[in-house]
Amino acid sequence: MELGLKDKVVVVTGGTKGIGYATVLEFLKEGAKVALCSIDDNFSSVQKELESIKSSNEIYIEKVDMSQSEQVYRFSKNVYQKFGKIDCWINNVGAVGYKKGDEYDDEEIDFIVGVCFKSVIFGSQAAYRYMKGKGGVIVNVSSLAARCSSAGRSTLYGPLKSAINNLTNTLAGEYCADQIRVTCIMPGFTITPLTKSQISKEELEKNSNATLLRRMALPEEIAKPIVFLASDAASYMTATTIEVSGGRSMTLNPTFAYEKLNIKK
C-alpha cells in the first residue's frame, strides 16, 4: 500500500524512546523527514543511531518541555526553518503518576496536566500555525485508560487521556476547513521503558492475561497505526479515535478460548 509519506515532514514529540521512537523509525522507513523532541538529555545516542539510518538532512532533534508553550513554539519554528514545512504532527508526550486521587499535591497536578494535556494543546497550536491554509495531519496519542479507568493507581492519567480524545474531535471540527485532519490512537499496555520501570512483573502479567491476545504490545505495533493515520491511506479519517489494545477489557471472559483449548500461560 502506498502511504504517500515520502518527503513529508513529520514531528514526533517524546520521540527518543518507547512508542515515540518506534514511530520515528516507521516514518523514516516510509521516506519521511522527521523532527523529534524530548525533555531528556539522551540525544547523542539517539541521534547517532538515527543518522546511521538516514542523512542528518532528514532528521532534527531538540530538547523541549512540551508543557511550556514558548519552548513548543520555538521548536516548531526551528523545524519549519530546517525543512520549510510541517505536514504531520504526532502528539506523543505523556507521563503517569501512580497515586490515588487524594494523594496529589498542587505541584504534581500541575506537572501531569502539563505533560499529558497542555502538551497536546500547545503541540496542536504549533502545528496549526504551519498547516493553516496548506493542510496537514495531527495525530494524538491517548491511552486505553481513557476508556478503562484505573482507580487507586493513576487517578489523573485516565481523565486527562479522555480529555485528549475529546480535544481530538474538537480540533478536527475547528481545523477541517484548512484541510487538516485530527485523529487519535488509544494504545493499551505496551512494552516501553516506562512500563518496565514503574509496573511490577506480576501486574504486567495480569494485564497481559486480560487481553484477548494474551500479551502486551510492542512499540512498533502502536507506531504502525500512528503512521497509517498520518498517511494518505487514512485521507477520509478525521475526528476518529482508534483503539489498539489487543482486545483489553472488551469481553467479560477473555480467558474463554484459552480455557476451552486447555491452553495455559
Q: What is the tens place of the pLDDT at every residue in 163-178? A: 999 999 999 999 999 9
What pLDDT sits at residue 38? 94
Query: CATH second-level architecture of 9-260?
Result: 3-Layer(aba) Sandwich (3.40)
- Which sequence positions are flagged as catalytic? 157
| 38 close to 64: Cβ distance less than 8 angstroms | yes
pLDDT top residue among 155 and 182: 182
Q: How far is CA 141 from CA 20, 105, 238, in A?
A: 10, 26, 14
Domain-by-domain residue ranges, the chain?
A: 9-260
pLDDT top residue among 244 and 48: 244
What pLDDT sits at residue 15? 95
Report, as an integer, the average pLDDT of 12-25. 96
Q: What is the pTM of this model?
A: 0.93
> With helix as H, strand as E and coil as C, how does the chain read?
CCCCCCCCEEEEECCCCHHHHHHHHHHHHCCCEEEEEECCCCHHHHHHHHHCCCCHHHEEEEECCCCCHHHHHHHHHHHHHHHCCCCEEEECCCCCCCCCHHHCCHHHHHHHHHHHHHHHHHHHHHHHHHHCCCCEEEEEECCHHHCCCCCCCCCCHHHHHHHHHHHHHHHHHHHHHHCEEEEEEEECCECCHHHHHHCCHHHHHHHHHCCCCCCCECHHHHHHHHHHHHCHHHCCCCCEEEEECCCCCCCCCCCHHHHHCCCCC
Distance CA 77, CA 72 (A): 9
Question: What value does the mean pLDDT of the chain take?
Answer: 91
Distance CA 123, CA 255 (A): 40
What pLDDT sits at residue 104? 65
| 155 close to 108: Cβ distance less than 8 angstroms | no
Residue at grid coordinates 477473555: 254
What pLDDT sits at residue 19? 96
Look at the alpha carbons of 231, 237, 240, 245 in this order and tell me if their dihedral is positive or negative: negative
Residue 179: which pLDDT band, with cuts at 50, 70 and 90? very high
